Amino acid sequence: MPETPPALPSFTAWPTFPFDGELNVKYLEEPVEVEPPRHGENPADCRACQAPDEAYVWVSDRWRVRSLDRPTGLPMVLILESRSHLDLGDLPNMLAAELGVMTVRLERAVRSLSGVARVHINRWGDGSAHLHVWFLARPYGRLQLRGTFLSLWDEILPPIEEAQWRENLALVAAWLEGFGGRALAEPPRIDWQAPAQFPAASDDGGAVEGGLDHAVAAKDPAEEGMAGEAAKDADHGSPAQSGTEEAAPAERPSNSDDAGLVQTEDSAHNLGPAAVSADAPDVASVEAGALRQEAGSG
Ligand SMILES: [Zn+2]
């Protein structure tokens, strides 16, 4: 153990770094010989596997999207999970290809929300064994929230209004349902507008909607703490240009939009919208089950 702690890294001086004042770097502990099991290494104990569809915002045969259980500081935080108990590296080709499609689709859906500038996508996997990919919406105009520390800011900022949060969830769920699967998030009000009237993100003047004047609510420490601690994103927020392909769709997504994205991956499996409809044969689950048995682990 060194006698003096190491010098502060340069990122503590970045404008996006959330903390101020005197800081010390923690001493690095010795590595453990054997790492403890993550939550759900055994599928029988896996919370994701046991959670009913009703706990999710949107579900399909092979994918499910959930939110945290309450609003947090960012306009939207969503988690994409495979329905099968698999980790990222376990995905068979078909699910791996679909993960790409689902990632792009969900990114578009979240970015279409009013006041969202960017969607950060993170997969850590240090806390839970079951694949879960984070989608964190960075509010428009909040340059200080760009990049690496967004997941920390999510816990620092006061939570957004619950009504706004629920409306955002319903909009994203409806967007996803436009491609198949089933939306489960309910809109908060009876006068909720149909997805045909989705506001384009570019139409939004800028500032974050929803209050920034409420008390901070704690999130699931198991998930969030892990997400925060494991953050290693080297991208600290260069202001990227928004290309035409990034423009948020102004209308409900058309299914044709999606067709052909990954069809070359495996033409035997239709990865267009039908692939996530309830009618599609659940080939991936079978494939995944076989793979899991082969691997002999969770
Ligand atoms: Zn699981």
In the chain, domain spans: 52-183
Ligand 1 center–CA 50 separation, angstroms: 7
**Cβ proximity of 103 and 110 under 8 Å:** no
Q: How much distance in Å is there from the Cα of 88 to the middle of ligand 1?
A: 12
* pTM, rounded to two decimals: 0.66
pLDDT tens-place values along the chain, 298 residues long: 556 667 899 999 999 999 999 999 999 999 999 999 999 999 999 999 999 999 999 999 999 999 999 999 999 999 999 999 999 999 999 999 999 999 999 999 999 999 999 999 999 999 999 999 999 999 999 999 999 999 999 999 999 999 999 999 999 999 999 999 999 987 665 454 455 444 444 433 333 333 333 333 333 434 444 444 333 333 443 333 333 333 444 444 444 444 444 443 333 333 333 333 333 333 334 333 333 333 333 3
Helix 162-177 / helix 93-111 crossing angle, nearest 10 deg: 130
Instruction: Tokens for 38, please give them.
Output: 């993550």
- From the CA of 54, how far away is ligand 1's center (Å)? 16
Residue 264, CB-side half-sphere exposure with 13 Å CA sphere: 1
Residues near ion ligand 1 (CB < 5 Å) are 46, 48-49, 85, 130
Q: Which fold has domain 52-183?
A: HIT family, subunit A (3.30.428)
